Structure 1
């Protein structure tokens, strides 16, 4: 049957103060009987507001008790192969010995300390690793709370770069349609202004930036002058007011899983240089090997002025992001070498450079670099291509595309999330489709058999959708026939 829905509870009295028998009794927090899963889900629905979900009509929820390898174990004992890497971040899977050990060791010495006026070895080590791994000449690292916050910091860096040097008017950003850069306010302003998830609710209050057409040439295709004409025209007209151009390199993720030409990205870099505009690349979803290159911009052999990373940075263990910049950007945003008074970057998250997160991130990045990640991602890509490509012939499918460890089946019609997830769960698979996109971004350690289960679940969704289409068509044909007979009579 369907996964148990998170149904609301009636109003309940507030919990009494913890007694001497132990706080959390009855909640699984020590003392008392273990609370039933049904009760936990009811309290979840009553107290928690899940992402992208109505508080009054939440989508079905499943209670997870543990995760190891690429498997999520539910409280009822059911096991699901995770095809999402927990929103694309758990590239090593779960319960990774190297990351567990790093976390335990760091907790033993220092779990957190403020980063204002203080520093620590985990932050310095991570910064060195990131500078070594990312394209040159990125040299400066700002450690943020999350991917979205790293975008906010990148935007601030770009705006401040011009203002600190006395250049007024460069206060807008340029990007392309179909993009997604996060859910914080500045990041929402550079997401797609028409079809983006924030457009309807927040479009009227977001900053008004400039949007070029979505990149047309697909990955692997040539990119002609006509493909960047819209971008070139906007730069020609507005370069004097544009602080930076921001986009996701090669893969537009939550904006539609669109893969575009590496040559397009090279032309973007050239246009930014021609018009003296900074280039920000949002590599949050596409960093650390996901596309088959260490960072997606490596496909185009270019380097940005500012880069954002997150998601896989900690291997999915905890939240952390980073914004990297060239020395030129860092010095310019600080007022330049000759400035009488250095200009500070006014951003300082409370948990910036959290030592625990930095230590685990360093272990995660090093584990990736020491692993045969290229061959693993290549094998995943090959299997995804072989097992998903045949689905392109279904009348329910608009297209199939694969790049690195990303497999996408774009449906003709939007999917009904609760029904689709129920079907997938029955087949032992965890995916999180959105809109028309049925996709997988599995951990790099997924086995051939585990990946086959994921693609089998995707095939089952396509087949069920196709059957529903055929049934709908048959009913329509029958109704048309009956209507024609009634007129004939």
Structure 2
């Protein structure tokens, strides 16, 4: 007989078992219905799994890792930053990484964006932007302007203010209906230019001008709300509307900023500048979490002269030196390379490799803009089947709703771009 002292120990739980016991993943139940893939390391544009397989990353880690992984310049920046300080509070203190990053962002973004509020995530930068709109109107003697105008089909984050300006019916946050602030929504922007839509925007603004503080939209590309593209000229109408009613115009460039649509910022395609611009995701090259809300002197001056005496927001990890250092290095690395050529090559490769998807039954649309490729189905994606098909092609994708899409790192080699497109077509066939 085996004594308790000599009985074999039960096997140690696997990482997946430990994950299932304790870790809650995004947009899913607890425990999850499917086991996530275990990533052991990442380098270049490839993720190495615990079983030794390598997958080309078609998602840039939710659109952030535009330089790929283990980039020497960004690795060095993080190492250098840890030798100085990990973090200091930003209330009453400042430091070179934050100032240097702010200077870079002001130099890159459209005039007259001159002032930078460094937040710690994209959703938080949207919350900051909404506060800027409300405090601006209050300081201008219009406390009744407490709502935001936007258009349907948008997505701006998962915090409560951000959720309120996402699509209230077709988006991810319909479950919160009745709890969120009631904002003012125009119809979805059309994919091609339509002067009648500009008139629709003006009519919505005219009807609610006395209660609206600002306008917030994603320029050119609506991301997680449906990966829809729209004509930049409709942004010019929003600029005219904001000027006519003294509204604060906010462009959410968290996903589109730093070259993803083919221009450094999507706003450039319209030839207009917002009053507030939110940045994130690619800001740090995917290394650390950081975002920014930039505003004009007019917005900053009005808020600072208001009864509160300043912008009422202050995250604990605001302007974290590690994140600010790697963000500056990411911006420098982007500008050092031919990022526009890289994005154009991504688009060309995706167009070529996605062409067969047009003949796949159940595919409603295939579209490419900049470094974004989308296959839209006429039914919801069978996500596990689609992901399995992509993995068989050696690619990591994360489809959602009726979409199989990719936003690869800018440095993805041409052969791997074609592989990503082939995986998307395969995923669409089984989805």
Query: Which TM bucket (shorter chain)?
Result: over 0.9
Q: Which moved more, 1:264-273 or 1:182-191?
A: 264-273
Match of 1:207 among 167, 181, 203: 181
Give 1:87's aligned residue.
Answer: 62
- Alpha-carbon displacement from aligned partner over 1:258-315 (angstroms, at most 9, x marks no partner): 0000111111111211222110000000000000000111111110000000000000
Distance 1:157 1:59 in 2: 41
Match of 1:244 among 214, 227, 234: 214
The secondary structure found in structure 2 opposite 1:334 is helix
Distance 1:230 1:54 in 2: 40
**Runs of at least 4 residues off by over 4 Å:** 35-38
| Bigger Rg, which one | 1
Match of 1:402 among 348, 351, 368: 368
Match of 1:100 among 60, 75, 84: 75
- Alpha-carbon displacement from aligned partner over 1:119-150 (angstroms, at most 9, x marks no partner): 00000000000000111100000000100000
List alignment gaps of at least 5 residues for structure 2: 1-9
Distance 1:444 1:429 in 2: 16
Shift of the 37–253 alpha-carbon distance from structure 1 to 2, 3 Å rule, reads farther
Match of 1:306 among 267, 276, 283: 276
The secondary structure found in structure 2 opposite 1:240 is coil
Q: Check the 8 A contact 1:37/1:75 in 2, yes or no.
A: no
- Alpha-carbon displacement from aligned partner over 1:82-129 (angstroms, at most 9, x marks no partner): 000000000000000000000000101111000000000000000000
List alignment gaps of at least 5 residues for structure 1: 1-34, 466-489
Distance 2:158 2:108 in 1: 27
Q: Check the 8 A contact 2:21/2:31 in 1, yes or no.
A: no
Distance 1:178 1:425 in 2: 30
- Alpha-carbon displacement from aligned partner over 1:336-368 (angstroms, at most 9, x marks no partner): 6xxxx7712111100000000000000001110
Shift of the 289–36 alpha-carbon distance from structure 1 to 2, 3 Å rule, reads farther
Q: Check the 8 A contact 1:262/1:300 in 2, yes or no.
A: yes
The secondary structure found in structure 1 opposite 2:257 is coil
Cα drift, residue 452 of structure 1: 1.3
Match of 1:411 among 373, 377, 383: 377
The secondary structure found in structure 2 opposite 1:386 is helix
- Alpha-carbon displacement from aligned partner over 1:205-263 (angstroms, at most 9, x marks no partner): 00000000000143xxxx34311232211111111111000000000000100000011
Give 1:352's aligned residue.
Answer: 318
Cα drift, residue 37 of structure 1: 10
Distance 1:243 1:48 in 2: 39
Distance 1:464 1:62 in 2: 20
Distance 2:30 2:301 in 1: 45
How many pairs does the alignment contain? Answer: 422
The secondary structure found in structure 1 opposite 2:225 is coil
The secondary structure found in structure 2 opposite 1:138 is coil
Give 1:451's aligned residue.
Answer: 417
Cα drift, residue 204 of structure 1: 1.4
Aligned positions of 1:138-217 closer than 5 A: 138-199=113-174, 201-217=175-191
Distance 1:417 1:464 in 2: 9
Aligned positions of 1:8-407 closer than 5 A: 39-199=14-174, 201-218=175-192, 223-335=193-305, 343-407=309-373
Q: Check the 8 A contact 2:150/2:217 in 1, yes or no.
A: yes
Distance 1:269 1:81 in 2: 40
Give 1:480's aligned residue.
Answer: none
TM-score where L is the length of structure 1: 0.84
Q: Which moved more, 1:410-419 or 1:129-138?
A: 410-419
